[in-house]
C-alpha cells in the first residue's frame, strides 16, 4: 500500500466540498432530525427492542435513504440473524480497475444506529428525543453517536462519483447493538465475511475529535468490562435503630469490596493485570497532541464549582498525563445504582442490598474477556461478613467484556492522504489522538483483516457530550469530515 496518492484535478476539491455542504443541508440534517426523534435504544437499555420495533425503524429509514440515492450498481440488504439485532449491509462497485499494488481492493465503512438511554440534566428547551438545530449544532440523542455515519459515508462516495473521480469498491456495515458492546456483531462478521472481500481500508465514523479545527485520527481505543455488583445482607429492610450496629451495611461492604479494585484517594486501579505498558509512539503522539490542545484537555469538561466556590480540579492538570489517563490507563466509573430509595422516600431503614453498575475502562492492549473473569473473582472472593456478593458482567457467554484497539502503523499513502485532506478541508494538518471509549468492531476487524489500514474518526469533539445531556452534532465539522473522507477514499492505491 505504498503507491502515491492520486492528485485531484483543479477544482475537484472545491466541488467535493460544495457537494458535501449541500448534501448535509438538504438531505442529511433532515434525515437526522427524524432519526433523533426515535428512541431507538440499544438492547442493553431496551430488552424488548424486537417488540418495540424502534431499531428496525431507524434501520429501515436509513436503508430507504441509501437506496434513494440510486448509486450505480448499489446493492443493499437488511440482514437478520434469528435472535439478534439487524444490520444494514450495502455494496457499491468500484469505478476504477484495481491497481494491482494494493493489499486490499475494498473500503469498509462502519457506523451504528442504536442509542444510549435518555439520562437527565438536559437543558430546559432540549431533550434526548426532541431534535433542535441551533447555531450549527443539532441537539438530541444519537445523531453524533453515531447516526450520521451511514449518511456521511454515502455522501462521501456520491461526491466522488458526481465529479467522475475514480474510487475502489465500497461496502457498508451499519449495526444496531454497538452501545451494548456489539454482542451481535461477531455473528454478522462471520456471516458476511465472504461478501466483504479483501478489505484494504476501514473507515469508522464513530469516534471523536480533539477540536473542531482539523481532522483527527483515532490511534487507540480502550476496552471495557461493564456489569452489576450486588451486595445482599438481609431478605428485607429493617428499622435502622433496631439493626444498625448489629447488621453490617450493604453499602459499607460494597465500598470495602471496591477498595480491592481502586485506590479511592487517587482513582488508580490496583491490580497490575488491568494495566499495560504504553507504547513509545503513543507517548510521543500524546505529547504532540497536548501541545495543540493544552489546558483544553481538561477545561472542556462541564465542571461544577468546588467546595470553596472555585473550580473543581481534575485528577491532573498536566495535559500529557490527562490524555494518557483517559486513553491508556484503566479507570472505574459507577454509572448506576439500585437498592437506594429516592431522597424523598428514604425512611430510617437499614436496606437489604446495594447494587452498583460498574464500567471498567481497560487499556487498549488488555484482553476484555480475561479481564472480566479476573474482575469477577476479585470482587466475589472472600466476601466480608460472608455477605452474598455477586458480579454479573454484561455480554454473552464466551464474549464478556470488550477488548480495546491499538491502530496499526500508518502506510505512507494514508498518512499523506490524511494530511492532504485535513489541510484542504480545515487548513491544518491531521491530529492524532487516543480515545477513551470503546468500539468493539475495531479489535474484531484488526484480527480479521490484519493488513487493512484504519481511518477511525468522528464528530464527537469538545462539549458534544455523547451519552450525556445536551448531546450535539457539530454540523459544520460533519460537512468537513465527510469531504475529508471522500478525499481519503479517492487516494486509496
Residues 203, 254 within the same domain: no
Q: Residue 310's pLDDT is what?
A: 84
Domain closes at, from 400, 419, 444: 400
**CA–CA separation, 479 and 156 (whole Å):** 10
Q: Which residues contact 459 (CB under 8 A, 6 or more apart)?
A: 144, 148, 205, 208, 209, 473, 474, 477, 478, 481
Residues 378, 412 within the same domain: no
Is residue 242 within 8 A of residue 458, CB to CB? The reply is no
Which pLDDT tens digit goes with each residue over 124-139? 999 999 999 999 999 9
Residues 188, 250 within the same domain: no
Domain enclosing residue 199, as ranges: 12-221+404-491
Whole-number average pLDDT of the chain = 94
Residues 36, 128 within the same domain: yes
Residues 338, 452 within the same domain: no
Most distant pair of Cα atoms in the chain: their distance: 83
Q: Residue 487's pLDDT is what?
A: 97
Residues 370, 414 within the same domain: no
Q: Which residues contact 435 (CB under 8 A, 6 or more apart)?
A: 207, 208, 218, 220, 221, 222, 327
- DSSP code of residue 410: P
Whether 37 is in a domain gets the answer yes
SS3 245: coil
For position 198, which CATH number holds? 3.40.630.10
Residues 39, 59 within the same domain: yes
Assigned C-alpha cell, 321: 498525563
Q: Residue 2's pLDDT is what?
A: 39
Domain closes at, from 353, 384, 400: 400
Among candidates 327, 338, 358, which has minimal Cα distance to 433?
A: 327
Is residue 227 within 8 A of residue 391, CB to CB? The reply is yes
Residue 17 scores a pLDDT above 70: yes
**CA–CA separation, 67 and 69 (whole Å):** 5
Q: Taking the complete model, does pTM exceed 0.75, yes or no?
A: yes
Residues 163, 134 within the same domain: yes
**CA–CA separation, 114 and 80 (whole Å):** 15
CA-angle at 59, arms to 56 and 60, nearest 5°: 85
SS3 224: strand
Among candidates 3, 8, 2, 4, which has minimal Cα distance to 484?
A: 8
Q: What is the mean pLDDT of residues 378-393?
A: 97
Residue 3 scores a pLDDT above 50: no
**DSSP letters along 299-355, please?**
HTS-PPB-TTSSBPP-S---HHHHHHHTTTS-EEEEEEEES---GGG--SEE-SEEE
Q: Residue 459's pLDDT is what?
A: 98
For position 244, which CATH number holds? 3.30.70.360
Q: Which residues pair with 160 in a beta bridge?
A: none
Q: How many helices (H) and strands (E) does the chain have?
A: 15, 20
Domain closes at, from 340, 367, 400: 400
Is residue 32 within 8 A of residue 131, CB to CB? The reply is yes
Place of cell 429501515: 60
Is residue 110 within 8 A of residue 173, CB to CB? The reply is yes
**CA–CA separation, 482 and 90 (whole Å):** 18
Whether 292 is in a domain gets the answer no
Q: For the ranges 94-103, 115-124, 301-310, 379-388, which has the lowest average pLDDT?
A: 94-103
Expressed in percent and rounded to 5, the helix, strand and coil fractions of the chain are 35, 25, 40
Whether 281 is in a domain gets the answer no
Is residue 215 within 8 A of residue 422, CB to CB? The reply is yes
Residues 247, 388 within the same domain: yes
Residue 102 scores a pLDDT above 90: no
Is residue 146 within 8 A of residue 35, CB to CB? The reply is no
Residue 5 scores a pLDDT above 80: no
| HSE-CB of 123 using CA atoms within 13 angstroms | 12
Q: Which residues contact 454 (CB under 8 A, 6 or more apart)?
A: 201, 202, 204, 407, 408, 442, 445, 446
Q: What is the mean pLDDT of residues 402-412?
A: 96
Residue 103 scores a pLDDT above 90: no
Ramachandran area for residue 3 (φ above 0: left; ψ -120 to 50: alpha; else beta):
beta
Residues 170, 61 within the same domain: yes
Residues 27, 153 within the same domain: yes
Whether 162 is in a domain gets the answer yes
Residue 1 scores a pLDDT above 50: no
Within 61-158, strands assigned E span 75-79, 87-92, 106-112, 132-134, 137-139
Alpha helices (runs of H) in 140-295, residue ranges in sequence order: 148-162, 185-196, 240-243, 250-258, 280-293
Whether 85 is in a domain gets the answer yes
Whether 294 is in a domain gets the answer no
Whether 3 is in a domain gets the answer no
**CA–CA separation, 153 and 172 (whole Å):** 8
**How many domains does the chain contain in total?**
2
Residues 337, 414 within the same domain: no
**CA–CA separation, 284 and 279 (whole Å):** 9
**DSSP letters along 138-154, please?**
EESTTIIIIIHHHHHHH
Question: If pLDDT is split at 50, 70 and 90, which confidence band does 468 have?
Answer: very high
Whether 282 is in a domain gets the answer no
Amino acid at each position: 500500500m505504498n503507491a502515491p496518492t492520486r492528485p485531484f484535478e483543479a477544482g475537484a476539491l472545491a466541488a467535493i466540498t460544495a457537494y458535501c455542504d449541500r448534501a448535509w443541508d438538504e438531505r442529511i440534517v433532515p434525515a437526522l432530525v427524524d432519526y433523533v426523534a426515535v428512541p431507538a435504544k440499544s438492547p442493553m437499555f431496551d430488552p424488548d427492542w424486537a417488540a418495540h420495533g424502534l431499531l428496525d425503524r431507524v434501520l429501515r429509514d436509513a436503508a430507504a435513504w441509501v437506496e434513494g440515492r440510486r448509486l450505480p450498481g448499489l446493492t443493499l440488504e437488511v440482514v437478520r440473524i434469528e435472535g439478534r439485532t439487524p444490520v444494514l449491509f450495502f455494496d457499491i462497485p468500484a469505478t476504477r480497475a484495481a491497481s494491482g499494488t494494493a493489499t486490499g481492493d475494498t473500503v469498509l465503512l462502519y457506523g451504528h444506529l442504536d442509542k444510549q438511554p435518555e439520562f437527565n440534566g438536559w437543558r430546559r428547551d432540549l431533550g434526548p428525543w426532541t431534535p433542535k438545530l441551533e447555531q450549527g449544532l443539532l441537539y438530541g440523542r444519537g445523531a453524533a453517536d453515531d447516526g450520521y455515519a451511514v449518511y456521511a459515508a454515502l455522501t462521501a462516495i456520491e461526491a466522488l462519483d458526481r465529479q467522475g473521480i475514480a474510487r475502489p469498491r465500497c461496502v457498508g456495515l451499519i449495526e444496531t447493538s454497538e452501545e451494548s458492546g456489539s454482542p451481535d456483531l461477531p455473528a454478522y462478521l462471520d456471516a458476511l465475511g465472504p461478501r466483504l472481500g479483501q478489505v484494504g481500508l476501514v473507515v469508522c465514523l464513530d469516534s471523536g475529535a480533539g477540536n473542531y479545527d482539523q481532522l483527527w485520527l483515532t490511534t487507540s481505543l480502550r476496552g471495557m468490562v461493564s456489569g452489576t455488583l450486588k451486595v445482599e445482607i438481609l431478605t428485607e429492610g429493617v428499622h435502622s435503630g433496631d439493626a444498625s450496629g448489629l447488621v453490617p451495611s450493604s453499602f459499607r461492604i460494597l465500598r470495602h469490596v471496591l477498595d480491592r479494585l481502586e485506590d479511592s484517594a487517587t482513582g488508580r486501579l490496583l491490580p497490575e493485570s488491568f494495566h499495560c505498558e504504553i507504547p513509545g509512539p503513543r507517548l510521543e503522539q500524546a505529547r504532540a497532541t497536548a501541545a495543540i490542545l493544552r489546558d483544553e484537555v481538561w477545561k472542556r469538561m462541564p465542571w461544577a464549582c468546588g467546595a470553596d466556590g472555585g473550580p473543581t480540579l481534575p485528577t491532573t492538570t498536566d495535559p500529557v498525563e490527562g490524555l494518557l489517563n483517559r486513553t491508556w490507563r484503566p479507570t472505574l466509573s459507577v454509572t448506576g445504582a439500585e437498592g437506594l430509595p429516592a431522597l424523598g422516600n428514604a425512611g430510617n431503614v437499614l436496606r437489604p442490598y446495594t447494587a452498583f453498575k460498574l464500567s471498567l475502562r481497560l487499556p487498549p492492549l488488555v484482553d476484555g474477556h480475561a479481564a472480566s473473569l479476573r474482575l469477577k473473582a476479585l470482587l466475589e472472593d472472600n466476601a466480608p461478613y460472608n455477605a452474598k456478593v455477586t458480579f454479573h458482567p454484561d455480554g454473552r457467554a464466551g464474549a464478556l467484556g470488550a477488548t480495546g484497539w491499538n491502530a496499526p502503523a500508518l502506510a505512507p499513502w494514508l498518512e499523506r492522504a490524511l494530511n492532504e485532506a485535513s489541510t484542504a478541508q480545515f487548513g491544518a494538518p491531521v491530529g492524532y489522538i487516543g480515545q477513551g471509549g470503546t468500539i468493539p468492531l475495531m479489535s474484531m476487524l484488526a484480527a480479521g483483516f490484519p493488513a487493512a489500514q484504519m481511518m477511525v474518526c468522528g464528530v464527537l469533539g469538545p462539549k458534544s457530550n455523547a451519552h450525556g445531556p445536551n448531546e450535539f452534532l457539530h454540523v459544520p465539522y460533519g460537512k468537513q469530515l465527510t469531504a475529508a473522507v471522500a478525499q481519503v477514499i479517492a487516494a486509496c492505491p
